[in-house]
Amino acid sequence: MNTAYLSLERHFARLSSLNDAIGILSWDKEVMMPSGAAERRAENMAMLEGLRHEILTAPVMAELLAEAGVDASGDAAPEETALWRSANLAEMRRLHKRATALPQDLVEAFSHAASRCEIAWRSARENSDFPTLLPYLSEVLRLTRAVAAATGDALGLSPYDALLDGFDPGTRQSDIDPVFTRLRAELPELIGSVLERQAALPAATPLQGPFSVARQEALGRVLMRQLGFDMTRGRLDVSTHPFCGGATYDVRLTTRYDEADFIPAMMGVLHETGHALYDMGLPSAWVSQPVGQAGGMTLHESQSLLMEMQFCRSGAFARWLAPHARTAFDLPDTATGWGAENLHRLLTHVQPGFIRVDADEVTYPAHILVRYELEKALIAGDLALADLPGAFNDGIHALLGLRVPDDRRGCLQDIHWPEGLFGYFPCYALGAMAAAQFRVAACEQNPDILPAVGRGDFAPLLGWLRQNVHGRASSATMPQILRDATGKPLGADAYLAHIRHRYLDRAPDA
Amino acid sequence: MNTAYLSLERHFARLSSLNDAIGILSWDKEVMMPSGAAERRAENMAMLEGLRHEILTAPVMAELLAEAGVDASGDAAPEETALWRSANLAEMRRLHKRATALPQDLVEAFSHAASRCEIAWRSARENSDFPTLLPYLSEVLRLTRAVAAATGDALGLSPYDALLDGFDPGTRQSDIDPVFTRLRAELPELIGSVLERQAALPAATPLQGPFSVARQEALGRVLMRQLGFDMTRGRLDVSTHPFCGGATYDVRLTTRYDEADFIPAMMGVLHETGHALYDMGLPSAWVSQPVGQAGGMTLHESQSLLMEMQFCRSGAFARWLAPHARTAFDLPDTATGWGAENLHRLLTHVQPGFIRVDADEVTYPAHILVRYELEKALIAGDLALADLPGAFNDGIHALLGLRVPDDRRGCLQDIHWPEGLFGYFPCYALGAMAAAQFRVAACEQNPDILPAVGRGDFAPLLGWLRQNVHGRASSATMPQILRDATGKPLGADAYLAHIRHRYLDRAPDA
C-alpha cells in the first residue's frame, strides 16, 4: 500500500459522502418534497451528479490511480485487509474508467433529460398518453445510447453490455440470454399448470378489512424488527412507489397502504426490508469505499426476493405470521380466514396481470422477458420508440395471453425507462433466480434456517447472509459470490424447482 | 456585462444548488434522520461545506472575479437589471473574500467540531452538565476565534465584527452598542411598569384543553395559508426546536405541539411563516444568485417578528383569530375564555422567565443583552469558558431579577454557541427593533394594512413587504433597505413606543 492509495481512499470517502447526500435527496423527492419544488430539485440533483462526475474524473484521480499500489510486501496489514484493499483499488479503477468514458456535459444533459422525462411520465401515465411522453423519452433514449456507446468503447463492451455493467458489474448479455431463453421456453406452460392446479383447489377466503393504516404500519415495524432491521439506523415511510433508499447508516424504506387489503403493503415492507438488511450488513470498515458497497442490482434484488418470496411467503412462515398479523389488527381468533393455510393460499395466489409490480413470483419473469427484448432492440436501434406500445402489448400477449387495454397498463406503467434506466430490468429476474439458489444453499448448509423462520426467528438466516453475501460487499463479483455461496453459477434450475415445489407439489413448508 | 461575469453566474448557480442540498439535509437532520445516523451525517455535511468552500475558493473564481465587469455601457439590459448585476458581482466578491480568508482545513475542522459539540450539548443540556460540554465547546470557541481572526484580517474588521458580518452583512458592533445601551438602560424599569400594569388588571382566563395535535396542525395550516404561504412550495412538520429551513421553492417550517396549550405551537407557526414568506418572496429571476438571497439575519428575524409579535399578537388580529381558533377545536361559542379580549390578554401576557425562546416580546431583549456581552468577551478572550455559567447567571439576575437554578435553564439552554454560532444572537433583538419600525412605516404608508389583518386578510401587508423588503433581496444592505422603507436608521424608538402602546396604554388594536 502506498501514499497514492491512501489519497485515493480519501477522495473516495468524499464521493461516498456525496452519494449519501444524493441518497437522502432522492428519498426526500419521493417522500417529502412539495410538488412545486420538482423542477428546482431536478436541477439540484443534476448538479450533484455533475459534481460527482467532476471529482471522479479530475486529473489528480488519474494520476493517483496510475501510481497507486496495494502490494502487501512490507505492509503490516493482514492478508485479509490487503485483499480488500486490492479489490478496492480495482473498484476505483472500474468506476474511474466508466466515468472518464463520458464527457461532463453528457452526464449533466442525461440527468436533466431524465428528470424532465420522469416528470412528463407522471402525467402521461395518468392519462395513458404515450404521444406526450414520446419527445421526452426520445431524448432520454438518444442520450442513453450515447452513454452506452461511449462507455462501451472505453470498456470494450457492446453498448447494451456497457449499460448492464453499470447496474450489475460483470454481468453480460451472454450470461443472461441462456437463462432467459430457458424461462421463455418453460414459463408459459408452467404458468398454465400452476393455474390449473390452483383452480382445482377450493378458493382462498379473502380477509375482511378495513385495516387501518396505523395498524398496518405498526405491523410493518414489528416485521422489520423481526427480520433484523435496526430502527436506530433507518425509517419506514410512505411513497407512491415502494423503494429502499437513503444513505449509509440511514436506510429508508417505503410502502403504500390500502385499507381494504393489508397484504400488499406488508409484503412491500418485507421486500424492502430484504434490501435494507443487505445495506445494513455491509462491512463497517469499508463503508465509505467502493469495495464496501453492495455488489450490484442482481444481488440486491436477490436479497429482497429471498425475504419476500422465498421465506415470507413460505408455508413455514405463514404459520408464525397468521396469529401475529391477526393480533396486530386486534381481531379475535374466531375471525374468518385467519388460519395459516388460508393465509398461505393468499400469499401464494397466482394471477397473470398487466402490472409488473403487482405480479406474483410465477408470472413475474414474463414481464421482465418482454422488457428485456424491447430494451435491447431500443438500444440497438432496431425498434423505433413510436412502435414501443404495440411491441410491448404483443410481448405481453405472447407470454401471458393477455390483451393490454391501454398504455397506462402497458409500456407506460414503469418509471425506469423514463428515468433513464436501461439494462436495469433483467436484474429483477436474475435476482429471483439467485434468491432461489441462495435459499437452497442456505437451508442445506444450516438446516435450522427454515424451522427458525417458522418460529419468526430470522437470526440464523441473517447470520448466513451476513457471512455469505452482505459481508462480502464488492470484494468479489456477483458470479463469484453466488458460486462461493451456492456452488453453482447463476441459472434457472433452483427457481423452476422452487415454483414446482410450492405451486404444483404444494409442499406445506414451501 | 462580460463573459467572465456570465461564467460567474454559472459557478454561483452551482453553489446555489449545493446550498439547497445542504438546506434539505439540515432540515432532514432535525426532522427525519434516525439517531444512529448522526455521526455519519455530520461527516456528510462537513464534506458538502468543504466542497462549497472549495468551489468558492478555486483559482478560476479569483480570475473571473478580477476580469468580471457589469458596466452597462453598450449593454442592452435595462438599468434595473444592470443595477442587480452590479450588486450581484459585489455580493460574489464579498462571499469570495470571506471564503478565501479561511484555509480549507479550518473550514472542515470547524464543521466537524461544531457537529460533535452539538451532539454533546444535547445530553449536557438534558443533564444540566456544563463540565462534560466544556471540552467540546472550548474546541468550537478556539476554532471560532481562529475563523474570526482570519476573516477579520481579510476584511479589515475586528474579530467580532467579522463574525457579525457573516450573519448580517454590514452590521458592526458600533451600530449595535448604542441600541443595546439604550435597551439596557430602559428595559428593567419598563418591564417593571408593564408587570405592575398587568397585575392591576383581572387575570386572563386560561383556555381549557386538551387540544389534539391533529387539530393544532390543521389550524397551523389554515393560518399559514391565511398569511400567504404557498403550500405547493413548502411543508409544515415537527421538530424539537421550531425553525424555518429547506431550499429554493421548498420552504420548510417546523413547530412542536403541547396538547395542554395550543398557543405556543400556533405562535411558532406564525413566527416561522414570517420567515418563510420572506424566502418565498425573493425575486425569482435572481433565485440562484447571491444578490437574490435574503439580506441577513436581522431582516429575516424582523419578518418573523413582524408576523408573530407585531401583527398576530395585536388586538386587531385577536378579534379575527378568536372565533377561528375556537372553531378549529370544534368548541361551542359558549366555551369559556374564547372572547377576543381574553385571547389578546393570553397572547400578550408578560412574565420574566429563564428560557429565551419562551420569552414574551417585552423581556426577550434582556436575554439577548446578556448573551451579547458574554460572546463579545469570549471572542475577545476576556472571559474563560469555565466562568461562563456564573457570568450568564449574573447577567440574567441583573436584567430580569431572576436567580438561574441550573445550567439547563442557564447557559446550556441554547444550541447556538455549541453549533458554532457566535455573533448571531444580537440579530434577534435587532430584528425586533426592525419589525417595530416596519410596522409603523407599513401602516402609515397603507392605512388599510392593520384593518385588513383584523379581517384575517394579510394581502395588503404582504404586498407592502414584497415591495419594500422581500423583493429587494440582497440588492441593497439591510441598513439601506430599512432606511428606504421606514425613513429612519435602525434604532430602539419604534420598539419601545410599541411596548408602551400595547402594554401600558393598552390600546385595543395594538
Minimal Cα–Cα distance from A117 to chain B, Å?
Answer: 20
Judged by CB atoms within 8 Å, which residues 223-242 of A form the interface with B? 230-235
Task: Measure the CA–CA gap between A131 and A432, rounded to whole angstroms.
Answer: 33
pLDDT tens-digit profile of B367-426?
Answer: 999 999 999 999 999 999 999 999 999 999 999 999 999 999 999 999 999 999 999 999
> Would the CB atoms of B21 and A36 count as touching at under 8 Å?
no
Pair A437, A490: CB distance under 8 Å: yes
Minimal Cα–Cα distance from A236 to chain B, Å?
Answer: 11
Minimal Cα–Cα distance from B472 to chain A, Å?
Answer: 22
pLDDT at A2 over 90: no
Catalytically active residues of A, by annotation = 272
CA proximity to A509, closest of A334, A354, A311? A311
List % helix, strand, coil for chain A (3-state, nearest 5). 70, 5, 30
Q: HEC string of A384-453?
A: CHHHHHHHHHHHHHHHHCCCCCCHHHCCCCCCCCCCCCCCCCHHHHHHHHHHHHHHHHHHHHCCCHHHHH
- Taking CB atoms and an 8 Å cutoff, what residues of chain B touch A232? 34-36
Q: Which residues pair with residue B48 across a beta bridge?
A: none
pLDDT tens-digit profile of B193-213?
Answer: 999 999 999 999 999 999 999
- Taking CB atoms and an 8 Å cutoff, what residues of chain A touch B12? none
DSSP per residue, A199-265: HTSPPPPPPP----HHHHHHHHHHHHHHHT--GGGEEEEE-SS--EEEETTEEEEEE---TT-SHHH
Q: Which of A15, A18, A22, A24 to mutate to test the interface with B (most CBs of B within 10 A)?
A: A24
Does any CB of chain B come closer than 8 Å to the CB of residue A30? Answer: no
Angle in degrees, 0-180, between the axes of helices B38-57 and B79-100, rounded to the nearest 10 = 120
Angle in degrees, 0-180, between the axes of helices B364-380 and B173-200, rounded to the nearest 10 = 150
Which residues, including other chains, have CB under 8 Å from residue B4's CB and lie 6 or more apart? B63, B64, B65, B67, B68, B69
- Taking CB atoms and an 8 Å cutoff, what residues of chain A touch B48? 17-18, 21
- Taking CB atoms and an 8 Å cutoff, what residues of chain A touch B33? 250
Give the residue-averaged pLDDT of A450-458: 98
Task: Measure the CA–CA gap between A43 and A46, rounded to whole angstroms.
Answer: 5
Minimal Cα–Cα distance from B86 to chain A, Å?
Answer: 25
Cα B469 to chain center, whole Å?
15
Q: HEC string of B88-112?
A: HHHHHHHHHHHHHCCCHHHHHHHHH
Pair A16, A55: CB distance under 8 Å: no
> Would the CB atoms of A35 and B234 count as touching at under 8 Å?
no
The number of CA neighbours under 13 Å toward the Cβ of B423 is 25
Question: Which entry of B49, B272, B361, B375 is annotated as an active-site residue?
Answer: B272
pLDDT at A160 over 90: yes
Lowest mean pLDDT across A26-35, A46-55, A197-206, B130-139? A46-55
Grid cell for residue A361: 413470483
Pair A357, A371: CB distance under 8 Å: no
Q: What is the mean pLDDT of chain A?
A: 96
> Would the CB atoms of B33 and A250 count as touching at under 8 Å?
yes
* Count of all residues that appear for chain B in the document: 510
CA distances from B215 to A215, B219, B263, B289, B325 (A): 21, 6, 12, 39, 10
pLDDT tens-digit profile of B81-127?
Answer: 999 999 999 999 999 999 999 998 898 899 889 988 998 999 999 99
Give the residue-averaged pLDDT of B474-484: 96
Grid cell for residue B424: 448571531
Residue B266 is which amino acid? M
Does any CB of chain B come closer than 8 Å to the CB of residue A32? Answer: yes
Grid cell for residue B281: 418572496
Task: Measure the CA–CA gap between B125 and B132, rounded to whole angstroms.
Answer: 10
Instruction: Report DSSP state, residue A361.
Output: T
Among the partner-chain residues A28, A43, A235, the one whose CB lies closest to the CB of B17 is A43
- Taking CB atoms and an 8 Å cutoff, what residues of chain B touch A44? 17, 20-21, 247
> Would the CB atoms of B250 and A48 count as touching at under 8 Å?
no
> Would the CB atoms of A248 and B48 count as touching at under 8 Å?
no
Among the partner-chain residues B34, B233, B235, the one whose CB lies closest to the CB of A233 is B34
CA proximity to B17, closest of A42, A103, A19? A42
Does any CB of chain B come closer than 8 Å to the CB of residue A34? Answer: yes
Among the partner-chain residues B24, B34, B231, the one whose CB lies closest to the CB of A232 is B34
Please give the residue of chain B at the shortest CA–CA distance from A234. B34
Under the banding of pLDDT at 50, 70 and 90, the label for residue A425 is very high
pLDDT at B460 over 90: yes
Burial grade of B240 (CB within 10 A; 0-12, 13-18, 19 or more): exposed
Q: Is B275 annotated as belonging to a binding site?
A: yes
Grid cell for residue B493: 424608538
Among the partner-chain residues A17, A36, A44, the one whose CB lies closest to the CB of B44 is A17
> Would the CB atoms of A44 and B231 count as touching at under 8 Å?
no
pLDDT at A295 over 90: yes
Cα A479 to chain center, whole Å?
17
> Would the CB atoms of A21 and B17 count as touching at under 8 Å?
no
Task: Measure the CA–CA gap between A364 and A433, rounded to whole angstroms.
Answer: 12
User: To 10 degrees, the CA torsion angle through A383, A384, A389, A392?
Assistant: 10
pLDDT tens-digit profile of B24-60?
Answer: 999 999 999 999 999 899 899 989 988 999 999 999 9
> Would the CB atoms of B24 and A28 count as touching at under 8 Å?
yes
The number of CA neighbours under 13 Å toward the Cβ of B275 is 25
Task: Measure the CA–CA gap between A482 and A434, rounded to whole angstroms.
Answer: 7
Give the residue-averaged pLDDT of A349-363: 97
- Taking CB atoms and an 8 Å cutoff, what residues of chain B touch A250? 33-34, 36-37, 40-41
CA proximity to A294, closest of A16, A4, A81? A16
H/E stretch holding B244 reads strand B244-247
Handedness of CA B70, B71, B75, B81 (dihedral sign): positive
> Would the CB atoms of A14 and B47 count as touching at under 8 Å?
yes
Task: Measure the CA–CA gap between B88 and A229, rounded to whole angstroms.
Answer: 49
- Taking CB atoms and an 8 Å cutoff, what residues of chain B touch A233? 34, 36-37
pLDDT at A351 over 70: yes
> Would the CB atoms of A32 and B235 count as touching at under 8 Å?
yes
The pLDDT assigned to B74 comes to 58
Does any CB of chain A come closer than 8 Å to the CB of residue B25? Answer: yes
Q: What is the mean pLDDT of chain B?
A: 96
B80: how many CB neighbours lie within 10 A of its CB? 9
Among the partner-chain residues B35, B51, B250, the one whose CB lies closest to the CB of A37 is B250
- Taking CB atoms and an 8 Å cutoff, what residues of chain B touch A51? 14, 18, 51
Q: Is B241 annotated as belonging to a binding site?
A: no
Give the residue-averaged pLDDT of B458-467: 98
Does any CB of chain A come closer than 8 Å to the CB of residue B60? Answer: no
CA distances from B65 to A144, B11, B91, B328 (A): 37, 11, 11, 55
- Taking CB atoms and an 8 Å cutoff, what residues of chain A touch B232? 34-36
Grid cell for residue A19: 452519494
Q: In angstroms, what is the C-alpha Rg of chain A?
A: 23
> Would the CB atoms of A44 and B21 count as touching at under 8 Å?
yes
Pair A459, A227: CB distance under 8 Å: no
**Annotated binding-site ranges of A for Zn(2+):** 271, 275, 301
Please give the residue of chain A at the shortest CA–CA distance from B17. A44
Q: Which of B16, B112, B224, B250 to mutate to test the interface with A (most CBs of A within 10 A)?
A: B250
pLDDT tens-digit profile of B285-337?
Answer: 999 999 999 999 999 999 999 999 999 999 999 999 999 999 999 999 999 99
* Count of all residues that appear for chain A in the document: 510
Among the partner-chain residues A40, A230, A249, the one whose CB lies closest to the CB of B248 is A40
Q: Which residue has the higher pLDDT, B71 or B184?
A: B184
Pair A43, A267: CB distance under 8 Å: no
- Taking CB atoms and an 8 Å cutoff, what residues of chain A touch B52? none
pLDDT tens-digit profile of B323-380?
Answer: 999 999 999 999 999 999 999 999 999 999 999 999 999 999 999 999 999 999 999 9
**Chain A to chain B Cβ contacts (< 8 Å):** 96
Task: Measure the CA–CA gap between B50 and B380, rounded to whole angstroms.
Answer: 27
